[in-house]
């Protein structure tokens, strides 16, 4: 009879719920690619809302359409747009706007995106 060294057995491979048996590809959502031209077009639409005095609509539009599938240039353009929107909103108007966004459909996700931009900039 041969002796087996039990210390060399990877017991995680025997457990069906182990991370070793779990595909990590399913953890990240599938995102469609976004071109820089599409982000520039969205940015110009958002800035038009901002020039029209609709800061909340501009912020909501920017936060609901982040360019996850875009290249670095597209993400920089969108970041600059979000920063421009935030700088144009008065401090006294910011809390009510954020409360309305939070209480709307998809508001929590939009504010999560806002936190990502605040941490990045």
Instruction: Say what the pLDDT of residue 112 is.
Output: 94
Task: Count the residues in the chain.
Answer: 121
Mean pLDDT of 32-53: 92
Give, in order, the Cα–Cα distances in Å from 45 to each of 54, 66, 103.
12, 14, 24
Tell me the pLDDT tens digit for each residue of 74-109: 999 999 999 999 999 999 999 999 999 999 998 999
Q: Are 101 and 111 contacting, i.e. CB atoms less than 8 angstroms apart? A: yes
Q: Are 101 and 62 contacting, i.e. CB atoms less than 8 angstroms apart? A: no
Asked whether residue 44 carries a pLDDT value surpassing 70, the answer given is yes
Instruction: Say what the pLDDT of residue 80 is.
Output: 94
Instruction: Return the bridge partners of 34, or none.
Output: 70
User: Regarding predicted confidence, which is higher, 13 or 61?
Assistant: 61
Name the DSSP letter for residue 12. Answer: G
């Amino acid at each position: 009879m041969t002796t087996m060294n039990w210390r060399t057995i990877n017991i995680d491979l025997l457990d069906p719920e182990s991370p070793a048996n779990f595909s990590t590809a399913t953890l990240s959502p599938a995102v469609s690619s976004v071109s820089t031209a599409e982000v520039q077009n969205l940015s110009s639409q958002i800035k038009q809302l901002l020039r029209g005095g609709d800061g909340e609509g501009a912020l909501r539009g920017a936060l609901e359409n982040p360019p996850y599938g875009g290249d670095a240039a597209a993400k920089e353009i969108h970041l600059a747009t979000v920063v421009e929107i935030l700088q144009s909103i008065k401090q006294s108007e910011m809390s009510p706007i954020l409360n309305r966004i939070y209480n709307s459909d998809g508001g929590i996700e939009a504010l999560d995106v806002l936190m990502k931009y605040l941490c990045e900039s």
